[in-house]
Chain A
Amino acid sequence: MSLLLQLLVNGLLLGGAYAIISIGLTLIFGVVRVVNFAHGEFLMIGMYAAWLCAQHLGLHPYLAAPLVALLLFGLGALMQRFIIQPLLAADAHIQIFATVGVSTALLNLALLVFGADLRKADFALGSQNLSLGPITVVSGQLVTFVVAIAVALALHLFLGRTHTGRALRALAQNRNAAALMGVNVQSSYVLAFGIGAGLVGVASGLLAVQYPVFPTVGSYFVLTAFVIVVLGGMGSLPGAVVGSLFIGLIDSLAGFYIGPDFKELVYFVIFLVILVVRPTGLFGLGRGSE
């Protein structure tokens, strides 16, 4: 019984890590309608930034997280302004190629600057074990989970309650209609892309405590994040959170009861089934929204 409980807790906490990465991805997709294949490399850059702060300023990655978020906000905004925006009128696959190009360039830049070695920031806070009865968790995982949920709620409120947030949602629904209603499309896109990238910055600070950083670290997380975003319904915030927790639980339970080499198989099969039954994902807005 306590073993099952431990597996459930492990799964949910892993889901928290996925959630904070997926939220940004789904926001960018939902508003700008661009599949950002450089998302993983944003995460990698953020983790290197957090590691550099730890190495040279002695800053704990949790404290560095806001700085890293700002840095990535800037990077995301620049990417939207100078790479995606000129291509907005082009075919979707042209934009995809552009983001894949950015991803490859950033990956190789990191290889050039940092080499293939793996770097790790070492801090006690975030890596000690907490025991709650028979359950053991790593404190950093708990922090990541709590922050992920808090950030998702905050973003939800921002999108629902503020004028800017409503403008972003209007854009997500119909770009032309939103423009006719006086929404500044281009600056809103820059803002949305920036926020999406900034959220990855927060994720970087949180994950840098638990995971070492190396040039390809982004691809370890982002393939799963893509699955989550499609599973939850592309562009859906609650979908991304629920999808993350769901994938986290499957990862943990299937990894134990079926076998660690089959866990991907299990969640890709479930993924396929859900897509067949509900092509727009769990929280998708119905046909045509994808």
Chain B
Amino acid sequence: MNHALRRLAAAIGFGIGFGCMLAAPLAQAQELKIGALYPFSGGLALLGDESFRGAQLAVEERNAAGGVLGRQITLVKADAVDANQAVGEARRLTSVEGVSAIFGSYASGISSAATQVTELAGVPFFELGAVADTITGRGFKYVFRSNSTAKNFAERSLEAVFKVVGPALKADPKGFKLAIIYEDGPYGTLVAGFQKEEAKRLGLNVVEAQAYSAKSVDLSSLVLRLKGAGADLVLHTAYQNDTVLFFRQSAAAGYKPRAVVGAGGGYSLTDTAQALGTAMEGVYDIDFPQITMNPAGAPGLNEFAAAYRKKYGVAPRSGHSLVNYVGAKAFLEVLARAKSTDKDKIREAVLAYRQPAGSNAAGWGFQFAENGQNVLATTNVMQWQQGKLVTVYPEALATAKAITAN
């Protein structure tokens, strides 16, 4: 009896094992694995997750339409909290999971580290959200980026001075006394560095260019310097607390520049605006396209917002999901056109891919340079009006006209 049972068990075990061996390759042939490397925990988790949602929506949309190369796409999540973990997770995705490509990564530090691994492994990395220019500036062959870079933030901020701020104030931009202030970490230094170059090229009068620590609890001496120099237009690259501090201490010192142009970061966040109240009225901000822009210049925007609401039950929490969605959607189309998961075929397909400007939900187009950077990705000029961030430039995406505060 006992003997018979054991034989039966062995037979069943064998049967299951054999079945699995047969089934596994079949399942693999059906699905196409793509890594999704984002910070899902830790301090960057909120916007990391928001970014991932965009990629997830693009994948689901593609799967519903039949997938890529006749295969359904499976996203393999990888949690990269910081550069160290990004390296470990990129290794896992490329060697253990055997993904065909990777989407990522929201933060520049994470992207820079992960791409070192993927480039060596020969797995294409599609960056959908990190802005440091260096990511596509290292001569890597299989790193491609759909979103705009820090340089674009800087160029847009100066374009805003000529196209938006000057006309709104009815003043000649060359008559402005410009101050460029920034937090002294990689983010502020990168954006402000390009701003300084660009301001010089455009012949603007820069009276102050000052860095400070984002952990500073007092910016009163910086404010007094700007006041002393008579700066009437401020370009500011900052996180949240320093944005609040700058406005409060400017008010305390009686310093009121004619316009302030922020570059993303703390300037884009609603709780900054809430903490500052009316002081934020009329302040400009340069950032990725937001969900609130005019859908006339961004075909598919409303559909994206509806799909997002349907899946997650809330409105998008920031523009990150939108740009990740648009980028992921384009790269999935590239994979389909490559007709292969071979890295060189994919690179060829990326470089050949074209989409005219203003043809997708972010209001961007697609055209990739040799370094893998999409040259048609841009940032928009926005302005805080009555507690809301509205898009004021470019015109095709604008929902409101620029106002002047005071």
Contact assessment for B241 and A10 in the assembled complex, using a CB-CB cutoff below 8 Å: no
Which of the 9-residue segments A88-96, A171-179, A216-224, A230-238 touches chain B?
Answer: A216-224
Determine the residue in chain A with the shortest Cβ distance to B275: A120
Determine the residue in chain B with the shortest Cβ distance to A115: B46
Contact assessment for B241 and A217 in the assembled complex, using a CB-CB cutoff below 8 Å: yes
> Which residue of B224, B225, B241 contacts A6 across the interface (Cβ within 8 Å)?
B224
Distance (Å) between the CB of A133 and the closest chain B CB?
14
Contact assessment for A260 and B217 in the assembled complex, using a CB-CB cutoff below 8 Å: no
Q: B219 within 8 Å of A by Cβ?
A: yes
Residues from chain B with a CB closer than 8 A to the CB of A261 are 184, 210-213
Which residues 30-77 of A have a CB within 8 angstroms of B? Answer: none
Q: B272 within 8 Å of A by Cβ?
A: yes
Contact of A122 with B224 at beta-carbon distance under 8 Å, contacts A10-B218, A261-B184 already known = no
Which of the 9-residue segments A148-156, A191-199, A207-215, A280-288 touches chain B?
Answer: A207-215
Determine the residue in chain A with the shortest Cβ distance to B251: A129
Q: A168 within 8 Å of B by Cβ?
A: no
> Which residue of A14, A224, A260 contacts B222 across the interface (Cβ within 8 Å)?
A260
Contact assessment for B241 and A252 in the assembled complex, using a CB-CB cutoff below 8 Å: no
Q: A100 within 8 Å of B by Cβ?
A: no
Contact of A118 with B240 at beta-carbon distance under 8 Å, contacts A220-B217, A252-B221, A260-B216 already known = yes
Distance (Å) between the CB of A239 and the closest chain B CB?
21
Contact assessment for B240 and A263 in the assembled complex, using a CB-CB cutoff below 8 Å: no
Contact assessment for B213 and A10 in the assembled complex, using a CB-CB cutoff below 8 Å: no
Contact assessment for B253 and A136 in the assembled complex, using a CB-CB cutoff below 8 Å: yes
Contact assessment for B215 and A219 in the assembled complex, using a CB-CB cutoff below 8 Å: yes
Contact assessment for B275 and A3 in the assembled complex, using a CB-CB cutoff below 8 Å: no
Which residues 27-76 of B have a CB within 8 angstroms of A? Answer: 43, 46
State the CA gap A118–B272 with chains docked (Å).
Answer: 7
Please tell me the size bucket of the interface on A: 35 or more
State the CA gap A127–B249 with chains docked (Å).
Answer: 10
Contact assessment for B272 and A255 in the assembled complex, using a CB-CB cutoff below 8 Å: no
Contact of A252 with B46 at beta-carbon distance under 8 Å, contacts A261-B184, A261-B213 already known = no
Contact assessment for B244 and A118 in the assembled complex, using a CB-CB cutoff below 8 Å: yes
Distance (Å) between the CB of A66 and the closest chain B CB?
24
Which residues 100-136 of A have a CB within 8 angstroms of B? Answer: 111, 115-120, 122, 127, 129, 136
Contact of A260 with B221 at beta-carbon distance under 8 Å, contacts A120-B275, A214-B240 already known = yes
The contact string, 1 if C-beta is below 8 Å from chain B, for chain A 79-90, is 000000000000
Distance (Å) between the CB of A120 and the closest chain B CB?
4
Contact of A264 with B224 at beta-carbon distance under 8 Å, contacts A118-B241, A214-B240 already known = no
State the CA gap A215–B220 with chains docked (Å).
Answer: 24
State the CA gap A151–B161 with chains docked (Å).
Answer: 50
Distance (Å) between the CB of B389 and the closest chain A CB?
16
State the CA gap A116–B244 with chains docked (Å).
Answer: 15
> Which residue of A14, A116, A120, A129 contacts B218 across the interface (Cβ within 8 Å)?
A14
State the CA gap A251–B244 with chains docked (Å).
Answer: 19
Q: B274 within 8 Å of A by Cβ?
A: yes
Which residues 328-370 of B have a CB within 8 angstroms of A? Answer: none
Contact assessment for A212 and B221 in the assembled complex, using a CB-CB cutoff below 8 Å: no
Most chain B Cβ neighbours within 10 Å, of A122, A214, A221, A260: A260
Residues from chain B with a CB closer than 8 A to the CB of A252 are 218, 220-221
Distance (Å) between the CB of A124 and the closest chain B CB?
12
Contact assessment for B224 and A7 in the assembled complex, using a CB-CB cutoff below 8 Å: yes
State the CA gap A220–B217 with chains docked (Å).
Answer: 7
Please tell me the size bucket of the interface on B: 20 to 34
Determine the residue in chain B with the shortest Cβ distance to A251: B218
Determine the residue in chain A with the shortest Cβ distance to B214: A220
State the CA gap A99–B215 with chains docked (Å).
Answer: 22
Contact assessment for A260 and B274 in the assembled complex, using a CB-CB cutoff below 8 Å: no
Q: A229 within 8 Å of B by Cβ?
A: no
> Which residue of A10, A136, A137, A264 contacts B221 across the interface (Cβ within 8 Å)?
A10
Q: B167 within 8 Å of A by Cβ?
A: no
Distance (Å) between the CB of A181 and the closest chain B CB?
42
Residues from chain B with a CB closer than 8 A to the CB of A212 are 240-241, 244, 275
Q: A241 within 8 Å of B by Cβ?
A: no
Contact assessment for B252 and A136 in the assembled complex, using a CB-CB cutoff below 8 Å: yes
The contact string, 1 if C-beta is below 8 Å from chain A, for chain B 207-250, is 00011110111111110110010000000000011001100100
Contact assessment for B210 and A260 in the assembled complex, using a CB-CB cutoff below 8 Å: yes
Residues from chain A with a CB closer than 8 A to the CB of B252 are 129, 136-138
Q: B277 within 8 Å of A by Cβ?
A: yes
Residues from chain B with a CB closer than 8 A to the CB of A256 are 221, 224-225
State the CA gap A251–B275 with chains docked (Å).
Answer: 25
Determine the residue in chain B with the shortest Cβ distance to A210: B248
Contact assessment for A119 and B224 in the assembled complex, using a CB-CB cutoff below 8 Å: no
> Which residue of B221, B241, B274 contacts A220 across the interface (Cβ within 8 Å)?
B241
Q: B172 within 8 Å of A by Cβ?
A: no
Which residues 237-283 of B have a CB within 8 angstroms of A? Answer: 240-241, 244-245, 248, 251-254, 269, 271-272, 274-275, 277
Most chain B Cβ neighbours within 10 Å, of A115, A116, A119, A221: A116
Determine the residue in chain A with the shortest Cβ distance to B215: A220
Which residues 151-203 of A have a CB within 8 angstroms of B? Answer: none
State the CA gap A44–B274 with chains docked (Å).
Answer: 20
Contact assessment for B277 and A122 in the assembled complex, using a CB-CB cutoff below 8 Å: yes
In the complex, besides A220-B241, A255-B220, 15 extra interface pairs with C-beta distance below 8 angstroms are A14-B218, A118-B244, A119-B271, A129-B252, A129-B254, A211-B217, A217-B241, A220-B215, A223-B215, A251-B218, A252-B221, A253-B221, A255-B222, A260-B219, A263-B221
10 nearest A-B pairs in the assembled complex, by CB-CB distance = A255-B221, A260-B212, A120-B275, A261-B211, A256-B221, A260-B222, A117-B271, A10-B220, A138-B252, A14-B218
Mark A residues whose CB is within 8 Å of B: 3, 6-7, 10, 14, 17, 111, 115-120, 122, 127, 129, 136-138, 210-212, 214, 217, 219-221, 223-224, 251-256, 259-261, 263-264
22 A-B pairs (CB sep. < 8 Å): A3-B224, A7-B221, A10-B220, A116-B43, A118-B272, A119-B275, A120-B244, A120-B275, A211-B241, A211-B245, A212-B240, A214-B240, A217-B241, A220-B215, A221-B217, A251-B218, A255-B212, A255-B219, A260-B219, A261-B211, A261-B213, A263-B216
Mark B residues whose CB is within 8 Å of A: 43, 46, 184, 210-213, 215-222, 224-225, 228, 240-241, 244-245, 248, 251-254, 269, 271-272, 274-275, 277
